[in-house]
Structure 1
């Protein structure tokens, strides 16, 4: 059986990992593209044994990059979450961790030139429409991955990548609080439904009888708890305007509570398992909510200043954030790192895609 060859780079972006593609190397048709991504990752299969997926939601992610047609934007970035157990590719959410690899990938792919020892890459996220500025270390005009920056959830050190997210409030729904309320009640539980970088449903962990600092395995192993959270999430998705979210990873779920050594603690569900650390976009959403009185996060958090500190299973993450009025975010920042791991050719069965001439990345 003939196989189709597709250029591919595998990168770690933040605390996630996955293949990075040029949009021009993938099918233009969305259904065919998704079939290619499923075959590439080896889904649906719990081990993803017939592909390059890592059998975990953090390693079953894809980044698709193309030059941008916008005058003040360098590249477009489309994120895809490939389901492990279902034949499902979700492009509704963004991923700030995979985004950390977009700038280095774009530079090394020749989509824009390095501009000195540091290069600013302006990225349009096609999932949400948000604009992100990434400052990449390019000493001597070349991308470097070596450095002394550390981030929770990743071993060792690497070159810092500074991300600054703009246009993130209401990116999916048009409002920071899609229902017009800072807290709603669903199934007798108070929740905050927030749309900022990542649409989220945020609950106080104590209201569900657990701790926001519980071990991820403890939450993942409580099937009754997960079923209750999912039932609440279904209604949250409807209220946020997403309709039936059974086959979507948005809204994500945050279980929050007080902690020592940070403003608050969270266990972040993706949404059916606990993240081993914390998604960048989720951290931004949580930080914005913590700045707003009346939310579930604000009720358990210490006062948040210019930098929100959030404790998660991998450590403490810092989110510099600036508000623009009561219910808008001027910008939010994040320190990430990335590493180019492998480059070469990915093979997918010819029956999935025969390799017809693809087109540039289109907005979803």
Structure 2
């Protein structure tokens, strides 16, 4: 049987990369779609040798785009996290780094028409319902990729992509604090379970006997930590109303520690079975919200940022990421208006990716 060709654009979005598809070019049903994505990325081998994945969780991500039928959005962004080795696809989470490439990809695909020197694109996350405005440089009616913006975790400089996140509180669970508590104790570890852009279980590194300044590689070699962390994450997922999360990449897990390089706080973010080499955009919003919410496990680890909106600088293994948070915090709790970040993206390739005809014969 002949192979099936599927058009795609291949972009780096923030500190992640992967194929960006037009949703109309893929199977409609999730079961077949999952098989297609596993075949395309080469999931099932640590090097993704039989696909276009990169052998790491940050390089086995997929974006699927379509024109939105929602009056508040221009583009629908459907995300999938493909596992490196297990042949699994998780459609529950979203990814803010891959989101950085959605605006440029939508323009490249002709789903959006450039509006001038900059194009504002309203994006709806299909996975979570969150709304994000992306501002993309489009001089002379084409996406500009070269520029002077730099983000830690990516070499060199590129044109900026500005992201403004709105309505991200309770993105997966419907609540800022899905357990109803600022702090929970699970297996003698105090955690804050918070849902802002991404549901995250947050703990202090010191409670695991860690400094919080270990490299990603050092943490990934520490299998005793993962053996202790994973049952806590699974129980937290249950308490957050997310059911059995054994095979789900959500909720994520994060460790916090005092900063060392002038930031607000230090964080290590887990995806969840390995440490992120830098920091997820969605995770950064959740951690920034935890920093600004009195009574969470973050309290006491930092000097509170001043000003409104507040700039929260999160140190991570590859440097730092800053989140500008417009919020209210009072006796009735924390209320997020919006969170803004600067990212970059670059188109790396485009063409057709092939999957076996036995996996999918095409539309």
Q: CA deviation at 1:324?
A: 4.1
**TM-score normalised over the length of structure 1:** 0.96
Which residue of 314, 321, 326 corresponds with 1:322? 326
For 1:147 and 1:188, locate their aligned partners in 2 and report how far apart those are by CA, in whole Å: 48
Q: CA deviation at 1:298?
A: 2.7
For 2:209 and 2:81, locate their aligned partners in 1 and report how far apart those are by CA, in whole Å: 30
Q: CA deviation at 1:84?
A: 1.2
Which residue of 340, 343, 350 corresponds with 1:336? 343
Instruction: Determine if contact 1:290/1:304 at 8 Å carries over to the other structure.
Output: no
**TM-score normalised over the length of structure 2:** 0.97
* Runs of 4+ in structure 1 over 2 Å off: 324-328
Instruction: Determine if contact 1:134/1:162 at 8 Å carries over to the other structure.
Output: yes
For 2:300 and 2:216, locate their aligned partners in 1 and report how far apart those are by CA, in whole Å: 23
What is the match of residue 246 of structure 1? 246
1:270 and 2:277 matched: no
- CA-atom RMSD, angstroms? 0.9
The aligned length equals: 356
1:352 and 2:359 matched: yes
What is the match of residue 50 of structure 1? 50
Q: CA deviation at 1:174?
A: 1.1
Query: Which shows bigger deviation, 149-158 or 169-178?
Result: 169-178
For 2:91 and 2:243, locate their aligned partners in 1 and report how far apart those are by CA, in whole Å: 16
- Structure 1 gaps of 5+ residues are 357-364
Q: CA deviation at 1:209?
A: 0.1
Q: CA deviation at 1:229?
A: 0.3
What is the match of residue 122 of structure 1? 122
What is the match of residue 293 of structure 1? 294
What is the match of residue 182 of structure 2? 182
- Structure 2 gaps of 5+ residues are none
Which residue of 308, 311, 334 corresponds with 1:307? 311
Query: Which shows bigger deviation, 324-333 or 8-17?
Result: 324-333
Secondary structure of the structure 2 residue equivalent to 1:322:
strand
Instruction: Determine if contact 1:166/1:332 at 8 Å carries over to the other structure.
Output: yes
Secondary structure of the structure 1 residue equivalent to 2:285:
helix
What is the match of residue 360 of structure 1? none
Secondary structure of the structure 1 residue equivalent to 2:124:
strand
Secondary structure of the structure 1 residue equivalent to 2:325:
strand
